[in-house]
Amino acid sequence: MTDPGREDDWRTRLRATGRRLTPQRELVLRAVDELRHATPDEVLAHVRRDSASLNISTVYRTLELLESLGLVRHAHLTDRAPTYHAIDLSGRHEHFHLVCRGCGDVISVDAEEIEDLATRLREERGFRVDTGHLTVFGWCGDCEAPEQVERPTTAP
pLDDT digits (tens, 9 = 90+) for 41-54: 999 999 999 888 89
Question: What architecture does CATH give domain 1-90?
Answer: Orthogonal Bundle (1.10)
Residue 35 pLDDT level (bands cut at 50, 70, 90) = very high
pTM, to two decimals: 0.73
Q: Where are the CATH 3.30.1490.190 domain residues in the chain?
A: 94-142
Q: What single DSSP character describes residue 139?
A: -
Crossing angle of helices 23-35 and 56-68, rounded to 10°: 80
pLDDT digits 0-9 by tens, 99-123: 998 998 988 898 889 999 999 999 9
Amino acid at 97: H
Helix 23-35 × helix 4-16 angle, to 10°: 130
pLDDT, residue 80, reads 80
- Average pLDDT of the chain? 85
| pLDDT tens column, 62-100 | 999 999 988 898 988 887 888 998 887 655 567 888 999
Q: Looking at residue 3, what is its pLDDT?
A: 57
Rounded to an integer, what distance in angstroms lies between the CA atom of residue 69 and that of residue 76? 19
| pLDDT value of position 40 | 96
How many CB atoms sit inside 10 A of residue 9's CB? 17
Q: Of 139, 141, 32, which Cα lies nearest the Cα of 84?
A: 32
Select the CATH number that applies to the domain covering 94-142 from these four: 3.30.70.2740, 3.30.1490.190, 3.40.605.10, 1.10.10.10.
Answer: 3.30.1490.190
